[in-house]
Amino acid sequence: GAVVSQHPSRVICKSGTSVKIECRSLDFQATTMFWYRQFPKQSLMLMATSNEGSKATYEQGVEKDKFLINHASLTLSTLTVTSAHPEDSSFYICSARRIPGGTDTQYFGPGTRLTVL
Amino acid sequence: DAKTTQPNSMESNEEEPVHLPCNHSTISGTDYIHWYRQLPSQGPEYVIHGLTSNVNNRMASLAIAEDRKSSTLILHRATLRDAAVYYCILNNFGNEKLTFGTGTRLTIIP
């Protein structure tokens, strides 16, 4: 099966610092990756769609300057939370799909739990 | 994407079949029905998907109503490891995004 990894699995940082989260597709090339955020007891909310070699597409209400996304290769996308604040504390999950368009399934990473003090 | 409706929670006994319902009365002809599940503190995991015909795989079966306005995910023999939140999602062909609803929290009773 397709494997997606995330690093780090959890991070604690001080308010005002920036945190980078990596998402890698380990055994396939992902033309498209997605970033989700999940608050406790809530469902996943899509933040942005990341396509290799192009700018990410952000969902309404998501600040692109605060959540920087880079998809530099077919196996790596990064999400940087800039100037993190306690309200950014959440479970961040990435996913990847192998085939653009169509109905190919998405393969999800294990998630990164961010705690901002 | 069209909306789905699922019960908030369900319970089932271990080693018994589980039928998880999903209503999607506004489904369009090109919407695929996807099921994902999320175990505690993990990312979601693909379970199964289908368009019109019933589908089977090693994890589960998907029964789709003839009018496609509802579907049922069937776990044939639940184990404790099947305790998770199950999401029923409609995905239109060509639309890469998945929109997660609140899902059904399945509890397995030993």
Of B107, B91, B1, the residue nearest B46 (C-alpha): B91
B11-25 pLDDT, tens digit per residue, is: 999 999 999 999 999
10 Å CB burial of residue B108 (0-12, 13-18, 19+) is buried
Is residue A101 over pLDDT 60? no
Of B50, B69, B56, B61, the residue nearest B17 (C-alpha): B61
Is residue B109 over pLDDT 60? yes
* pLDDT-derived band at B2, boundaries 50, 70, 90: low
Interface check for B94 against chain A (CB to CB < 8 A): the answer is: yes
Interface check for B24 against chain A (CB to CB < 8 A): the answer is: no
B35-60 pLDDT, tens digit per residue, is: 999 999 999 999 999 999 999 999 99
Give Cβ neighbours of residue B86 (< 8 Å, ≥ 6 apart).
B6, B20, B35, B36, B37, B47, B73, B103, B104, B106
Token pair, residue A47, equals 């933040």
Is residue A98 over pLDDT 80? no
Is residue B85 over pLDDT 80? yes
Interface contact B96-A111, CB threshold 8 A: no
Q: What are phi and psi of B9, to 5 degrees?
A: -150, 155
Chain A residues closer than 8 Å to B49 by CB: 103, 105
Q: DSSP letter for B59, please.
A: S
Indicate the SS3 state at residue A87: helix
**For testing the chain A interface, which of B46, B90, B102 should be mutated: the one with the most A CBs within 10 Å?**
B46
Give chain B's mean pLDDT: 93
Ramachandran assignment for B96, one of left (phi > 0), alpha (psi -120 to 50 degrees), beta (any other)? alpha
> How many angstroms away from the CA of B95 is the closest CA of chain A?
6
Chain B residues closer than 8 Å to A49 by CB: 96-97
Q: DSSP letter for B80, please.
A: G
Of A19, A32, A53, the residue nearest A107 (C-alpha): A32
Residue A112: beta bridge partners?
A92
> How many angstroms away from the CA of B61 is the closest CA of chain A?
16
Interface contact A108-B103, CB threshold 8 A: no
Residue of B nearest to A39 (CA): B41
Per-residue CA distances from B59 to A33, B62, B78, B108 (Å): 25, 10, 10, 16
Interface contact B100-A34, CB threshold 8 A: no
Instruction: Closest CB to A111: pick one of B36, B42, B100.
Output: B42
pLDDT of residue A109: 97
Distance (Å, whole) CA B99 – CA B94 = 14
Task: Give the number of other Cβ atoms within 10 Å of residue A82's Cβ.
Answer: 15
In the predicted model, what is the mean pLDDT of residues A85-102?
85
Distance (Å, whole) CA B91 – CA B95 = 7
